[in-house]
């Protein structure tokens, strides 16, 4: 079997294209497959040629990164290289942060650059194959799973539920990480009583592979065993988080954890959709409030337009005991969908626990809301079953008929 690297050029810059096409076929270690333009049909060419190495040279390096970002979601197995003349240090840094393998300076010595590029590619492939074997070995024992908490309005308790469920799984012995992607107003560490020294913004500045050693420098460790990656503290820090970084980050987390729980902002943007594409469970949180329910329905409509299946969304009604004048039938009518789960209301107890730097589910595990959250965790991950304490069982019918049951239509 040939060890030559199958290489395809994607470009719209004619002088650059000519230079690369004159150079590639002369290299013994490259099997040059040819050129394709960057069009909506480019993906078809990738699936036809199955290249190992993709050289992307657009009008400027920023456009090249945009093309790579689109293609890598659908063709993640190729190694992407930006072809550009005279990149400066800032451009090189942005390329590395975007997850490209390398860059190729067409104004440099092309033959020498090819040697370096092939060495980088082969080292990357060896690392990928080693990690693939590790992942297959680990997943033969337990599959990694990612769950996203979604919402389309603030104040519905999405972050409370996300942190609570993550803490429950960690407390039960599952290796769990909580990723706070609510980049501009993340509160997860506050709910857990933690004070972050480093956040995702600091991690974004790390130009290296995200292995366990690197990640550990940015994790907060909670007493339950839960690890937490915190949202940036500033708007500038939030702006430094890109979909490409989130994609690489989630790939790394799913290699190291059993469960990745993701908290998100109240919208669907590129960052959230990158998390969705890497996940299996999607919990849409709202309350017994007409405005919140209509906003949830709007998110569901957008979800459908983006090509996702509405049946994948599990709708959770938080604070279902609130006297709002709405019945569960009204909720079904507004959502045009059934409810997966209901969590009752005791806002005073929840807020009191958070003000003390603890979650209610940890501080008062026998509180009815805590038991409902444990049963919600049961429904999501069957492997870790909730076993109530003797005190919990003594509640009688209050335990057997919780707010946190599936609805008749759920």
Token pair of 58 as six digits: 């657009």
Q: Are 167 and 193 in contact (CB under 8 A)?
A: no
What pLDDT is recorded for position 209? 61
Is the pLDDT confidence value at 307 over 80? Answer: yes
User: What CA–CA distance (Å, rounded) separates 123 from 102?
Assistant: 12
Token pair of 329 as six digits: 């039938």
Task: Answer yes or no: is 407 within a domain.
Answer: no
Our count of domains for the chain comes to: 2
CATH of the domain at 151: 3.40.50.300
| Signed CA dihedral, 214, 220, 223, 226: sign only | negative
Task: Answer yes or no: is 121 within a domain.
Answer: yes
What pLDDT is recorded for position 402? 33
Same domain, 109 and 148: no
CA nearest neighbour of 300 among 277, 282, 287, 317 = 282
**Would you give the end-to-end CA distance of the chain in angstroms?**
54
User: What CA–CA distance (Å, rounded) separates 166 from 164?
Assistant: 5
Task: Answer yes or no: is 405 within a domain.
Answer: no
User: What CA–CA distance (Å, rounded) separates 363 from 342?
Assistant: 21
The model's confidence at residue 374, banded by pLDDT at 50, 70 and 90, is: very high
User: What CA–CA distance (Å, rounded) separates 186 from 184?
Assistant: 6
What pLDDT is recorded for position 127? 62
Same domain, 146 and 130: no
User: What CA–CA distance (Å, rounded) separates 57 from 226?
Assistant: 43
CATH of the domain at 44: 3.40.50.2300
User: What CA–CA distance (Å, rounded) separates 314 from 339?
Assistant: 7
Mean pLDDT, residues 66-90: 84
The model's confidence at residue 141, banded by pLDDT at 50, 70 and 90, is: very low
Task: Answer yes or no: is 208 within a domain.
Answer: yes
Place of tokens 């942060």: 97
Q: Are 228 and 177 in contact (CB under 8 A)?
A: yes
The residues facing 147 across adjacent strands are 261, 281
The DSSP H or E segment spanning 309 is none
Same domain, 133 and 147: no
User: What CA–CA distance (Å, rounded) separates 63 from 13?
Assistant: 11
Place of tokens 């003594």: 394
User: What CA–CA distance (Å, rounded) separates 120 from 48?
Assistant: 25
Token pair of 123 as six digits: 């080292």
What pLDDT is recorded for position 129? 61
Between 310 and 141, where is the model more confident?
A: 310
What pLDDT is recorded for position 178? 97
- Give the number of residues written for the chain: 410
What pLDDT is recorded for position 199? 92
Highest-pLDDT range among 65-74, 97-106, 278-287, 317-326? 278-287
Mean pLDDT, residues 283-298: 93
From 83, 114, 137, give the residue that closes a domain. 137
Highest-pLDDT range among 11-20, 201-210, 376-385? 11-20
DSSP string, 388-407: --HHHHTTTHHHHS-TTSPP
**pLDDT tens digit string along 329-372?**
888 999 999 999 999 989 899 989 988 888 999 999 999 999 99
Mean pLDDT, residues 97-116: 80
Same domain, 17 and 147: no
The sheet carrying 220-221 orders its strands as 220-221, 227-229, 176-180, 259-263, 145-150, 281-287, 313-318, 341-342
Same domain, 161 and 270: yes
pTM tops 0.95, yes or no:
no
Average pLDDT of the chain to the nearest whole number: 82
What pLDDT is recorded for position 170? 92
Is the pLDDT confidence value at 240 over 50? Answer: yes
Work out the percent of the chain whose per-residue pLDDT is above 70. 86
Token pair of 196 as six digits: 């972050």
User: What CA–CA distance (Å, rounded) separates 123 from 117?
Assistant: 10
Exposure string for 296-332, b = 16+ CB within 10 A, e = fewer: bbebbeebeeeebeeeebbbbbbbbeeeeebebeebb
Q: Are 367 and 346 in contact (CB under 8 A)?
A: yes
CA nearest neighbour of 193 among 394, 347, 360, 57 = 360
Between 152 and 385, where is the model more confident?
A: 152
Same domain, 54 and 156: no
From 87, 102, 137, give the residue that closes a domain. 137
Q: Going by C-beta distance under 8 Å and a sequence separation of 6 or more, which residues neighbour residue 403?
A: 320, 321, 342, 343, 344, 368, 372
**pLDDT tens digit string along 164-218?**
999 999 998 899 999 999 998 899 999 999 988 899 998 888 755 676 677 888 9
Mean pLDDT, residues 262-291: 93
Is the pLDDT confidence value at 410 over 70? Answer: no
Same domain, 24 and 170: no
User: What CA–CA distance (Å, rounded) separates 11 from 19?
Assistant: 11
Task: Answer yes or no: is 409 within a domain.
Answer: no
Task: Answer yes or no: is 275 within a domain.
Answer: yes
What pLDDT is recorded for position 383? 47
DSSP string, 113-129: HHHHHHHHHHHHHHHHH
Same domain, 58 and 195: no
Work out the percent of the chain whose per-residue pLDDT is above 90. 35
Same domain, 19 and 162: no
What pLDDT is recorded for position 298? 93
Same domain, 160 and 303: yes
Same domain, 125 and 154: no
From 108, 137, 166, give the residue that closes a domain. 137
Give the domain range for residue 247.
142-400
Between 143 and 184, where is the model more confident?
A: 184
What pLDDT is recorded for position 287? 93
Same domain, 129 and 193: no
């Amino acid at each position: 079997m040939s060890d030559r690297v199958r290489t395809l050029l994607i470009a719209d810059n004619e002088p650059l294209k000519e230079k690369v096409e004159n150079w590639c076929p002369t290299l013994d270690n490259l099997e040059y497959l040819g050129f394709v333009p960057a069009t909506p049909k480019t993906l078809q060419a990738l699936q036809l040629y199955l290249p190992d190495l993709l050289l992307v040279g657009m009008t400027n390096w920023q456009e090249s990164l945009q093309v790579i970002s689109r293609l890598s979601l659908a063709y993640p197995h190729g190694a992407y290289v930006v072809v550009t003349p005279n990149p400066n240090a800032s451009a090189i840094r942005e390329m590395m942060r975007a997850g490209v393998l390398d860059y190729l300076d067409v104004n440099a010595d092309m033959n020498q650059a090819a040697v370096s590029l092939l060495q980088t590619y082969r080292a990357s492939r060896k690392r990928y194959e080693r990690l693939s074997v590790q992942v297959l070995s680990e997943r033969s024992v337990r599959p990694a799973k990612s769950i996203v908490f979604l919402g389309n309005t603030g104040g519905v308790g999405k972050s409370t539920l996300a942190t609570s469920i993550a803490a429950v799984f960690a407390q039960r012995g599952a290796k769990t990480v909580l990723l706070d992607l609510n980049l501009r107003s993340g509160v997860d560490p506050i709910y857990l009583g933690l004070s972050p020294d480093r956040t995702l913004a600091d991690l974004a500045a790390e130009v290296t592979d995200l292995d366990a050693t690197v990640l550990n420098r940015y994790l907060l460790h909670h007493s339950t065993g839960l690890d937490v990656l915190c949202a940036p503290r500033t708007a500038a820090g939030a702006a430094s988080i890109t979909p490409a970084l989130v994609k690489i980050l989630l790939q790394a987390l799913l290699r190291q954890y059993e469960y990745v729980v993701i908290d998100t902002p109240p919208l669907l943007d590129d960052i959230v959709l990158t998390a969705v594409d890497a996940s299996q469970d999607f919990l849409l949180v709202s309350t017994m409030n007409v405005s919140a329910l209509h906003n949830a329905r709007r998110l569901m409509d957008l979800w459908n337009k983006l090509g996702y299946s509405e049946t994948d969304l599990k709708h959770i009604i938080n604070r279902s005991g609130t006297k709002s004048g709405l019945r569960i039938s009204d909720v079904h009518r507004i959502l045009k969908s059934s409810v997966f789960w209901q969590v009752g209301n005791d806002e005073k107890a929840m807020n009191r626990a958070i003000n003390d730097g603890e979650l209610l589910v940890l501080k008062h595990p026998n509180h009815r809301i805590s038991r409902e959250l444990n049963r919600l965790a049961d429904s999501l991950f069957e492997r870790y079953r909730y076993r109530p304490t003797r005190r919990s069982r003594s509640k009688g019918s209050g335990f057997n008929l919780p707010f946190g049951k599936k609805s008749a239509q759920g």
